[in-house]
Amino acid sequence: MLAWNFFPFLASLASAGIGKRAVQTDVSIYAYGVGINGFLVYADSSSAAVIADNATALANNLQNITWTIDPKGLLPWNVTSTNSSSTGQFYIVPTSTEHQAAGFNTTAPPTGAETVGFVIYGSTVEYATETTYESRFYAQNSSTGVWSLVWNSDSETLDNGVPVVLKTVAPPPRPNFD
Ligand SMILES: *[C@@H]1O[C@H](CO)[C@@H](O)[C@H](O)[C@H]1NC(C)=O
Ligand SMILES: *[C@@H]1O[C@H](CO)[C@@H](O)[C@H](O)[C@H]1NC(C)=O
Ligand SMILES: *[C@@H]1O[C@H](CO)[C@@H](O)[C@H](O)[C@H]1NC(C)=O
Ligand SMILES: *[C@@H]1O[C@H](CO)[C@@H](O)[C@H](O)[C@H]1NC(C)=O
Ligand SMILES: *[C@@H]1O[C@H](CO)[C@@H](O)[C@H](O)[C@H]1NC(C)=O
Ligand SMILES: *[C@@H]1O[C@H](CO)[C@@H](O)[C@H](O)[C@H]1NC(C)=O
């Protein structure tokens, strides 16, 4: 029965999960990497997935989004822009050998886009393939300081790019050392 049976983790999540780890609403997703200290994932005006600190996000009119996710990876993850009713489905393009932008499928998604298979492992977003869980998210900086979220299939070094981990938990407040 499909590939799901190959995953003991997924299988146990699926059986243990009824009611316990069902669909979660009003989720925010944060990116962590070098120079990216738990910044929110936003949508830009082209429905691309981008990452920015608060001030840069405000300066660039990025749209706050809330996520409705299925931690078990069986349903697509939907996002709603907090100041509009427009929704989209989160996608990555894992088929390419190169890095490809991630985004929200509101109109036609790019060829090879996948919207199903995203799981929460601990509090980390991973993508379930037939054999393993993967996190190949990178952030690529731009001249505005807004980072593009990409899926870097071959994990080659990326110009202005750093690996990032996506999590459903916000960064803790900074300790006050004074
Ligand atoms: C982002 O900046 C705005 C405006 O300065 C502020 O009201 C808001 O609290 C900030 N949010 C966070 C999460 O720091
Ligand atoms: C997104 O939401 C957070 C938390 O409410 C807020 O601090 C921040 O300013 C918002 N960012 C934008 C770009 O509206
Ligand atoms: C959401 O709010 C931001 C900031 O006010 C604005 O720039 C953007 O156009 C709005 N998006 C939509 C879809 O209304
Ligand atoms: C996302 O939206 C699709 C299409 O409306 C729906 O089938 C799916 O169940 C939704 N996903 C979640 C996690 O609710
Ligand atoms: C993209 O969105 C459309 C409309 O919601 C949906 O029919 C289609 O299956 C989605 N395709 C992918 C690859 O996400
Ligand atoms: C990202 O790019 C902006 C604009 O060039 C720059 O100011 C910022 O320092 C860069 N961030 C990192 C972590 O390299």
pLDDT per position as a tens digit, 31-59: 999 999 999 999 998 899 999 999 999 99
**Is residue 177 in a domain?**
no
Q: In this structure, are residues 98 and 89 in contact, taking their beta carbons and an 8 Å threshold? A: no
pLDDT at residue 155, rounded to an integer: 77
Tokens describing residue 62: 């990025």
Q: Structural domain of residue 36, as residue ranges? A: 24-167
Between 174 and 56, the higher pLDDT residue:
56
DSSP state letter for 74 = S
**74 pLDDT exceeds 80?**
yes
The per-residue pLDDT for range 120-129, each reduced to its tens digit, is 999 999 999 8
88 DSSP β-pair partners: 79
Distance 142 CA to ligand 1 centre (A): 22
Q: Is the dihedral of CA 120, 127, 32, 85 positive or negative?
A: negative
Q: Tell me which residue has its CA closest to atom 2 in ligand 5.
A: 105
* Token pair listed for 141: 């900086």
Name the domain count of the chain. Answer: 1
Mean pLDDT of the chain: 87
Establish if 145 belongs to a structural domain: yes
Give residue 112's pLDDT band: very low, low, confident or very high (50, 70, 90): very high
> What is the helix (H) or strand (E) element at residue 55, kind and residue range?
helix 54-59
Q: Ligand 3 centroid to 79 CA: how many Å?
A: 15
The average pLDDT across 174-178 equals 81
Q: What is the pLDDT of residue 177?
A: 81
Q: Which of 39, 51, 138, 141 to mutate to test the pocket of ligand 6 (most atoms within 8 A of CB)?
A: 141
pLDDT band (50, 70, 90) for residue 87: confident
Q: What is the model's pLDDT at position 21?
A: 60
Average pLDDT for residues 75-86, to the nearest whole number?
86
- The verdict on residue 53 lying in a domain is yes
Q: Would you say residue 175 lies in a domain?
A: no
137 pLDDT higher than 80: yes
> Count of H helices and E strands in the chain?
2, 16
Strands 137-140 and 36-43: unpaired
* CATH number for position 47: 2.80.10
Whether residue 19 is contained in a domain is answered as: no
Is-contact 136 117, C-beta < 8 A?
no
Does any domain span residue 15?
no
Which helix (DSSP H) or strand (DSSP E) does residue 57 occupy? Answer: helix 54-59
pLDDT given at position 2: 41
Q: How far apart are CA 62 and CA 60, in angstroms?
A: 6
**Cα 63 to ligand 3 centre (Å):** 6
- Both tokens of 28, joined, read 């925010």
Radius of gyration over every alpha carbon of the chain, rounded to an integer in angstroms: 16
Specify if 76 maps to a domain.
yes
Q: Ligand 3 mean position to 87 CA, how many Å?
A: 14
Classified as helix, coil or strand, 8 is helix
